[in-house]
Amino acid sequence: MKRQQSLALDDADDLQARARELTAYWIGRAREITGASPRRLPVPEVRFDLRGRAAGQAVFARRTRRCHVRLNAALLASHPKEMLAETVPHEVAHVAIYRLYGRRAKPHGAEWKALMQAFGVDASPCHALPAQPTRQLKRYRYACGCDEPAWLTSIRHKRARAGTAYICRVCGVRLTYAEPDAPG
């Protein structure tokens, strides 16, 4: 573990190589803890293509049962210690639990929490790193049975205009678009 601390944390390539090394390390620890074989618990591919607020994501292919980990390169560069110490084992634990238990285990369920505890890492389901969304969506006003308007993002607004029905979570009435006032 001493060698882990010695790598420079300022170069993006070094950080990505470090994240890959730690992924292999945590998979090895998961094998030791669970008794799984390298065939049952292979080292997943690590990709750095995640954007937005998410720090990491474990991706599972149902048919092939192949897994990979996606990490947010911007957050890795801005918060390397937290990403390497918390996010990498978090996502590796997801991969390990999926490979060992399949879909019957909940994402942040008892098996995942037990593995995180065995790793000695906090089992928080979400990170607390400051992250900016990749895009700001425009919001559109909709009316329902409530006194307050409901707001749909541009994505859902476009779907509603194409015929998708959205129901208010509070009153249960179908949302209708509240046309903006015409300029007078």
Catalytic machinery residues: 91
- d(CA 66, CA 99) in angstroms, rounded, equals 8
**Is 98:67 a contact under the CB 8 Å cutoff?**
yes
Token pair for 105: 């285990």
Q: Is the dihedral of CA 74, 78, 81, 83 positive or negative?
A: negative
Q: How many CB atoms lie within 10 A of CB 81?
A: 9
Adjacent-strand bridge partners of 152: 140
Burial 28-62 (b: 16+ CB within 10 A, else e): ebbbeebebeeeebbbbebebebeeebbbbbbbee
